[in-house]
Amino acid sequence: MGVTGAGKSSFISTCSGKSVKIGHNLHSCTADVEDVDFMYNKNLRVHLIDTPGFDDTNRSDVQVLQDLAHWLSGSFKYGIRLSGVVFLHRISDPRMASSARRNLLMFKKLCGEKAYQSVILGTTHWSNVSPQDGTRRERELIETDEYWGLMCKKGSRVFRYANTRESALSLIGYILKQHMTVTLDIQDEMVNKGHDIDETSAAHELNAEIIQTLKEVDKRKEAEFRAFKEQMKKERDQERQRYDAERQKHMAKVAQQEKALKEQQRRAMERMEKDKASLEEMARKQKE
Q: What pLDDT is attached to residue 215?
A: 61
CB 155 within 8 A of CB 116: yes
Give residue 56's Cα distance to chain centre.
12
Q: Is 149 exposed, middle or buried (0-12, 13-18, 19+ CB in 10 A)?
A: middle
pLDDT of 91-116, one tens digit each? 999 988 888 888 899 999 999 999 99
pTM over 0.85: no
CB 116 within 8 A of CB 148: no
pLDDT of 181-238, one tens digit each? 999 999 999 999 999 888 899 888 888 766 565 466 557 767 776 786 788 788 888 8
